[in-house]
Amino acid sequence: MASSNRSDGTGLGNYQLRFTNAGQTLGEARRRNRLHNWPIVVEGPRDKRALESLEFVGPIEVLNRGWNLERVVAHLYEKYGTRNNSAGGSSVCLLMDWDRTGGRLQRKLARLLEGFDMLVDQDTRVVLQKNLKPETRVLESLHGLADRLRQFIDQEDPL
């Protein structure tokens, strides 16, 4: 079956649907980030800049800061706690790249955070992976897709 004919709506031929899904998910994440101090954890500074180009103004925590993962997890636990009820329950959003390395890092970090009884949002990454994989596999590329995504993000989270 050709990818443009996939029944789940994520094939190459369903550009509008895929970008609508990704934009709505990013809009919801931006709203929670901005209004509820809901941190988004990314791999590096370019990922942070990509989210800032989409007008994320709340906390964005960067993993690659010269700390080991255990220290980063302890920092996140101390700063954000185990739950954020105003943001829908989860205390942090993990948003690693949706390539193989990002997937491994996502799983390891989630396991460590959950060991501290932190409720972790991984759904945002899953939706982006499912809908943007034809265009990119890395978060920093959202900067280049910003113009195409912004209308859908702004529908979900008008600033």
pLDDT band per the 50, 70, 90 thresholds, residue 1: very low
Q: What is the pTM of this model?
A: 0.87
Least confident of 1-5, 50-54, 91-95: 1-5
Task: Write the DSSP assignment of 44-101 as a string of letters.
Answer: SHHHHHHHHHTT--S-EEESTTT--HHHHHHHHHHHH-S-BGGGTB-SEEE---SSHH
- At 16-39, the pLDDT tens digits run 899 999 999 999 999 999 999 999
Place of tokens 């739950």: 83
Does residue 9 have a pLDDT over 90? no
CB contact set of 11 (below 8 Å; sequence gap of 6+): 2, 3, 4, 5
- At 111-151, the pLDDT tens digits run 999 999 999 999 999 999 999 988 999 999 999 999 999 99
Helices (H) and strands (E) in the chain, counts: 6, 4
Q: How far apart are CA 11 and CA 74, in angstroms?
A: 40
Give the pLDDT confidence score for residue 87 in this predicted structure: 84
Residue 138: DSSP 8-state: S
Q: What is the mean pLDDT of the chain?
A: 90
Domains and CATH numbers, the chain: 28-150 (3.40.1360.10)
Q: Of all helices (H) and strands (E), which one includes residue 38?
A: none
Give the pLDDT confidence score for residue 7 in this predicted structure: 43
Does residue 10 have a pLDDT over 70? no
